[in-house]
Amino acid sequence: MASSLFAQLTQSLGAVRDPEGNILTTPFLSTCRELVHVIEKFGTALALVKSDVGGNIDRLEAAHGRNPTKYTRIFDILSDEVNTGQPTGSSSDTNGLLWLKRALEFTTVILLRLYDDRTVTLSTAASESYTATLYQYHTWYTAAAFTVALKLVPSRETFFQKVGTPGEQLMEDMKHFTDSFTPLLQQIHQFLVDHDLDFKTRV
């Protein structure tokens, strides 16, 4: 049995790609939904991120449900939107995957920061990670709201107590997960860039 939320997540990643390396829609979104349980442990400070991630998972699951056979691979959903000229709308599936990717990059960067510096506070790690990831896509108003919210995260000790048994094994579980999950996010990012879908509009 997996010893922590991170170990459980890493186990689920084994089914996310097919033999050719394509990201499979259902396993990927299932893993993302499991990751929401980690985001919950950051408390109300990341409530907006949790809501955004959950909403974008729902959006992509609905797209998959329209044609499960055709949309076995997640990039096929986006390719269809590109072919029909509909990828840029705020409610598009393309924007759903784009913002899902960005929110999960933010989350994984926090985890890596906590691993790399065993003394950094969660508040500092979250603020630095926000600046390195989501900040560039946010308006002044949104950034100000995030800056205030991130001051409300729990202590790092409280966070780790919520995700497993604190100790070196938990830290290694966390690092193993981020090492395994980051390449998926990079693959999604590269697809978006290659197809001019990495929209820079601030929200």
Would you state the pLDDT for residue 45? 93
In a domain, 201, yes or no: no
What does each of the 203 residues of the chain score in pLDDT, given as a tens digit? Answer: 567 999 999 999 999 999 999 999 999 999 999 999 999 999 999 999 999 999 999 999 999 999 999 999 999 999 999 998 888 888 999 999 999 999 999 999 999 999 999 999 999 999 999 999 999 999 999 999 999 999 999 999 999 999 999 999 999 999 999 999 999 999 999 999 999 999 999 99
Question: 13-22: per-residue pLDDT in tens?
Answer: 999 999 999 9
In a domain, 136, yes or no: yes
In a domain, 119, yes or no: yes
Would you state the pLDDT for residue 87? 83
In a domain, 199, yes or no: no
In a domain, 159, yes or no: yes
Would you state the pLDDT for residue 137? 97
Would you state the pLDDT for residue 85? 85
CATH code of the domain covering residue 135:
1.10.3520.10
Report d(CA 2, CA 122) in Å as an integer: 24
**pTM to 2 decimals?**
0.96
Report d(CA 93, CA 9) in Å as an integer: 24
Report d(CA 170, CA 166) in Å as an integer: 6
In a domain, 137, yes or no: yes
Give the total number of structural domains in the chain. 1
- Residue owning tokens 């390449």: 183
Would you state the pLDDT for residue 61? 98
In a domain, 93, yes or no: yes
With a CB cutoff of 8 Å and minimum separation 6, the contacts of 138 are 146, 202, 203
**Domain span holding position 72:** 5-194
In a domain, 203, yes or no: no
